[in-house]
Amino acid sequence: MGYLIECEGIYSDGIDTGYLGLSSNEENFFQSQEFRHVLETIGWKTVYLESKKGGCNASVLAYAPPTVPVLNHVLESYRVFYGPCISPFNGESSRETLDCLVEKLCAAAKKQSALLLEIRTPFPSSCGAEVFTKNGFMKTDHKGQYSVLIDLKKDLESLWKDMKHFARRNVKKAVEKGVEIKEVETLHDLRAVYRIYLDTTARRGFDPLPFQLFDVLWKQLEPKGLVKFFVAYWKKRPIAAILNTFYRGQSIPYVACSLNSCWNLHPNHLLMWHSIKWSKEFVGSSVFNLYHLPPKRDQTQSIDFYTFKTCFGGSLIEETASYQKVISPAKFKVLQLLNEKMPKWCHPHSLSGYLNKTKSQL
């Protein structure tokens, strides 16, 4: 899941991304009121807070996604996905404003008897790190702390030429082998997307989002032009899918999934190129953001996200840092014990995947 807040100045790797027109005062999709409304529609708890000091404004949207019914209220965690939003991010006033906002957020999480508070922030500045450390957060080991930004102000021919040779070849191969890209038009199509998504989450070992979220995004935000679902078909069989979000000039593939058995058909490359073209031509986005990738190729991993996400051109930047604070140490110990003692099939990931799969097939 992702977005970018471009803090004023230069990123840590020395790349000035000002030409992309991004600004820290622009709300992103995952901190927007539209996204908050979707989360509340499916029954997720949300907390929205604001803070202002010295002419600097800050806001944050945190949410608590349910896992399984039995554990939801006992081991509840709040997450901030790519936030807070701060404007302007330019010195001591922004630091004080962020500090005030984080203090409010910690207090709100404690009031909700939460287990954890997790924050993912793209601040390319020591300011954010100082504030989070001061408020009792620990930086977590998250490998996906980089993003690729593709400038969609370029013409399509330039965007095509910017892609690596093998990526262009794989797009052509997918077309030659008969892979077709179609929009999600019916609930049946959406369920097909979700089945592919569940297959991907099981393979990669992370908790799946509920089908309800896909359903509400499709019904409420696609008509507003804020999201779009695409599916790759081969011989009338759905084999891969992508969910794009569009917000204030940013196009982000929020969910990309595929069937392992069909990778040789290269549907992922074709889907991504189709999404880039759609974002530019039909939405008018100025930047395409591929997030959650390591800074270099990891030879130990069977799936090389670095090679895939950098093959479409663009600039690699460091934009994300992950922080975590234990709100309830007692509950945290319970969670650790459950993880150690529970049979594999009882883990929240396994149960939530099973429940979501069942619901999606109703």
329 domain-assigned? yes
126 domain-assigned? yes
- If asked whether residues 46 and 106 sit together in one domain, one would say yes
Rounded Cα gap, residues 146 and 236, in angstroms: 36
- If asked whether residues 164 and 176 sit together in one domain, one would say yes
Phi, psi (degrees; rounded to nearest 5) at 342: -65, 140
132 domain-assigned? yes
Which of 70-84, 95-109, 123-137 ranks highest by mean pLDDT?
95-109
Q: Which domain holds residue 27?
A: 18-144+320-360
DSSP calls for 285-297: -SEEEEEEE-SS-
Centre a 10 Å sphere on the Cβ of residue 277 and count the other Cβ atoms it contains. 15
- If asked whether residues 130 and 158 sit together in one domain, one would say no
- Burial class from Cβ neighbours inside 10 Å (0-12, 13-18, 19+) for residue 47 reads buried
Centre a 10 Å sphere on the Cβ of residue 207 and count the other Cβ atoms it contains. 16
78, β-bridge pairs: 117
Contacts of 319 (CB under 8 A, 6+ apart): 4, 11, 122, 124, 145, 146, 147, 291
pLDDT in tens, 226-255: 999 999 999 999 999 999 999 999 999 999
9 domain-assigned? no
8 domain-assigned? no
Rounded Cα gap, residues 331 and 313, in angstroms: 45
- If asked whether residues 119 and 195 sit together in one domain, one would say no
123 domain-assigned? yes
- If asked whether residues 307 and 334 sit together in one domain, one would say no
Q: Are strands 56-64 and 179-183 parallel, antiparallel or unpaired?
A: unpaired
Rounded Cα gap, residues 314 and 293, in angstroms: 13
Question: How much is the pTM?
Answer: 0.84
1 domain-assigned? no
Both tokens of residue 46? 């949300």
- If asked whether residues 67 and 166 sit together in one domain, one would say no
User: What's the pLDDT score for residue 143?
Assistant: 67
Torsion angle (degrees, nearest 10) of CA 362, 197, 39, 333 = 100
- If asked whether residues 200 and 229 sit together in one domain, one would say yes
- If asked whether residues 30 and 85 sit together in one domain, one would say yes
- If asked whether residues 120 and 198 sit together in one domain, one would say no
DSSP calls for 44-77: -EEEEEEEEETTEEEEEEEEE----HHHHTTS-E
* Of residues 5 and 214, more confidently modeled: 214
65: preceding bond cis by omega (within 30 degrees): no
- What mean pLDDT is predicted for residues 258-283? 97
- If asked whether residues 291 and 337 sit together in one domain, one would say no
Both tokens of residue 76? 């509840």
User: What's the pLDDT score for residue 59?
Assistant: 94
Contacts of 72 (CB under 8 A, 6+ apart): 66
pLDDT in tens, 117-175: 999 887 656 668 889 999 999 988 766 678 899 999 999 999 999 999 999 999 999 99
Q: Are strands 85-87 and 116-121 parallel, antiparallel or unpaired?
A: unpaired
Which letter does DSSP use for residue 236 in this model?
A: T
Number of structural domains in the chain:
2
Rounded Cα gap, residues 40 and 223, in angstroms: 19
Identify the CATH number of the domain in which residue 208 sits. Answer: 3.40.630.30
Q: What is the edge-to-edge ordering of all strands in the sheet holding 179-183?
A: 179-183, 227-234, 237-247, 250-258, 287-293, 146-151, 315-318
- If asked whether residues 293 and 347 sit together in one domain, one would say no
If pLDDT is split at 50, 70 and 90, which confidence band does 65 have? confident
pLDDT in tens, 316-325: 888 778 899 9
- If asked whether residues 179 and 293 sit together in one domain, one would say yes
10 domain-assigned? no
User: Angle at CA 360, nearest 5°, toward 359 and 362?
Assistant: 65
